[in-house]
Structure formats: C-alpha cells, structure tokens
Copies of this chain bind each other. A is one copy, B any other.
Amino acid sequence: MRRITDRQKQVLDYICDFIDEHSYAPSIRDIQKHFGLKSTKGVKDHIDRLVEKGYLNRTEGTARALRVVRDGKKAIKKIPLVGTVAAGLPILAEENIEDYLPVSADMARIKGMFFLRVNGDSMINAAIMDGDLVLVRPQPFVEQGEIAVVRIGDEATVKRFFRFKTRVELRSENPNHKPIVYRDEDEDVRIVGKVTAVLRILE
C-alpha cells in the first residue's frame, strides 16, 4: 500500500474515529470544520488521494459514502480490558482499564465493547475457563438463559441470566456452584452486557 503523508494520515484517522463514534461517515465539511480549514477543496484533495492510494472507498456523488479499507494491519484495534470478573464468587470488577488488547477492528466496530478477564471456573461447562477473555457487548437485557455480565452493586460476575416472575437467578456452569438468587428488586442487579465471544489471545 502506497505511502501517505502525515496530513493524509490525520485525515484518515479522523474519518475512522468519526465512523466509530457516529456509525456513519463524515461529510467533507465535517472534516473541514474539524481541521479548521476554510475551504472544502483541501479535504477533497486529501480524500481523492486516500482513495487513489487505496485507503478509502467511496461511492461518488453520494453523501457520507466513505468507507475505510481495512488492510489487516489497520484491522487491529485496541479494545480496553476493563478489569477482571469473577466466574466463581462475585468479586470486584475493576472499572479501571488494565490494558488494551489488539483485536480485529471488524469485531470492535461497535462503540463501547470491552473485554473482561474471567477468573474462576464456575462457567467451566460453558467452556469459559479461568483467564479467558470475554468480549462484552453492552446491553441492558439478554434472552432467558444467555450468558451475561451482571453487576450486583460494585461487583460483577459472568453467569447465565434467568428472570422469573418474582426473582432473578444467576446460574453457574459448574455443578459445585449453586445458583445465586435475587428476589425482585431488593438487590441492585443490573445486566452490563451480553458475552458475545470468548477470546484467547494465543500468542
């Protein structure tokens, strides 16, 4: 892939960030404003060159129809590992970002996704083992019995989530662990998100 100038890289980065944040591409004037330029021409030139050099796709004459070409290297994106979650007893899930992990940008296009490291073996029968990283998509609900990251007060845990008429159950996948039951709203139980993948960074 041909080299690009620093300025072109800045523009490209901004386009990427904008798409990540808005889920749609910036207009030329969005970019213009961001860089404080007084003409659209400069932006147009940069985009033309980024397209020529293969860093962008474009549907001409169409609004906000820029697409970033991921080239395998750029497809690697840093996703925050926001802490450790207990798969056994619910222990504290640090809200601080411990680290950033390289992941396919394709998998991380949704803003707000994050990794949690699972401690313990309570989900062993679901093949989530100690040390595994679960990719979490934040959402306030899951289907019955889906594996969810659930927060109880300041603690978090990964469990199968069941909601019944009068109670919520967090079930382990380990015969040695009994379900954790919360009756109605007498506990601050909140679904953080759904576990969408189990990831092992193998190298």
Q: Does residue A65 face the partner (Cβ distance < 8 Å to B)?
A: yes
**Per-position contact with B for A11-38: 1 when CB-CB < 8 Å, else 0?**
0000000000011110100000000000
**A62-92 interface mask toward B, CB cutoff 8 Å, 1 = contact, 0 = none?**
1111110010110100000000000000000
| Complexed CA–CA distance, A107 and B139 (Å) | 14
CB-based contact A104/B63 at 8 Å: no
Which of A42-50, A149-157, A175-183, A194-202 has 4 or more CB atoms under 8 Å from chain B? A194-202
How many identical subunits does the complex contain?
2
Are A199 and B202 also in contact (CB < 8 A) when A25-B24, A110-B106 are? no
Complex contact A24–B64 (CB within 8 A): yes
A117 in contact (CB, < 8 A): no
Q: Main secondary structure on chain A at its contact with chain B? A: loop
Q: Which residues of the partner chain B approach A194 to less than 8 Å between Cβ atoms?
A: 72, 104
Besides the known contacts A24-B25, A104-B196, A146-B202, 8 further A-B residue pairs in the complex with CB atoms under 8 A apart: A72-B141, A75-B139, A103-B196, A106-B109, A107-B107, A126-B200, A127-B127, A197-B198
